[in-house]
Amino acid sequence: MNRRHTPTGQLGEVGIILIGPKFPENIGASARIASNFGISKLTVVSSESYDQERMLKMATHKAAHLIHEMRVCRTVSEAAAPFHCIIGTTARQGRRRLQDQTPREVMAEIVPMLAGNHIGLMFGPEDSGLSNEDLDFCQFASTIPTAGFSSLNLAQAVAIHCYELYTAVHPHPFVAIPKSEFANSFDMEGMYEHIEEALGEINFLRDTNRVYWMRNIRQFLGRVRLKKKEASLIRGICRKFLWYSRHAQGPECLPDPPDHPLEETAP
């Protein structure tokens, strides 16, 4: 059988993120699938160690390098940090979750972002899938349509998403987006921390509604696709807001606020 291979440069900045996989064989199978479609990054979130021989057996020698170079993280936050955009895969729906799309619909939106940006495909544990807290790190939610029974093997879900991304690439030329133009997850999480702190300062957020409103804010700002400078701007606004709120005792005794973090780089 003749096989076409996608050059690493096209999908080389795409990574597979596996959250708490139960079986090393599924990690190996996912590595093999990723390699077949030109994806060269694999991240696993787990506090456990996995039998490397069992992973390598499923990965085969062609994808063994993904197992040897696999990035292992303790937290989802650490795993998500390098990525500018993450697609979370889920079979569950709910009014507080991201808008569900099919893998094909999501990949059509992702293709223009591929050039110069790190894209992650996140998959949850085999028995439970991604939690709402995991999906907080995602900008898109992808649900594989099925007839009736909706549970798929982890490797099957990885294969479907890799295939849809691979096929979405070919009809579309890459858009020349400068590298690191978009804020990555590390930038966004820092921004969300400042937003949450500022909103808590004015009692907009309370213990009873904090998770609800922050999840809605995350979903809104995640859809906007902020650039690094824009995320930094929002952080700067929140920092100044907090400074004024905590130091102002009256206009006659208010000292000058700290310099704005973007003033030195502003044109």
- When pLDDT is cut at 50, 70 and 90, the band that residue 260 belongs to is very low
**Per-residue pLDDT, 3:** 44
Residue at token pair 């952080």: 235
What b-and-e string marks burial along 53-90, b requiring 16 or more CB atoms within 10 Å of the CB? eebbebbeeebbebbeebeebeebeebbbbbbbbbbbb
Task: Give dist(CA 65, CA 210) in Å, integer.
Answer: 43
Class of domain 185-253 as given by CATH = mainly alpha
The CATH 3.40.1280.10 portion of the chain extends over 8-169
How far is the CA of 120 from the CAs of 79, 185, 250, in angstroms? Answer: 10, 10, 48
Q: Which of 240, 230, 155 is nearest to 191 (CA)?
A: 230
Residue 209, both tokens:
């509604």
pTM of the prediction? 0.69
**121-131 residue pLDDT tens:** 999 998 888 99
Helix (H) or strand (E) holding 52: helix 52-59
Place of tokens 């994808």: 63
User: Is the pLDDT confidence value at 256 over 70?
Assistant: no
- Give the end-to-end CA distance of the chain in Å, rounded to a whole number: 56
Q: Decide: 74 and 45 in contact? Cβ < 8 Å.
A: yes
Kindly report, as residue ranges, where domains of CATH 1.10.8 are found in the chain. 185-253
What is the architecture, at CATH level 2, of domain 8-169? Answer: 3-Layer(aba) Sandwich (3.40)
pLDDT tens digits for 147-203?
766 668 899 999 999 999 999 987 655 555 455 578 888 899 999 999 999 998 888
Q: How far apart are CA 188 and CA 196, in angstroms?
A: 12
Structure tokens belonging to residue 14 = 């795409």
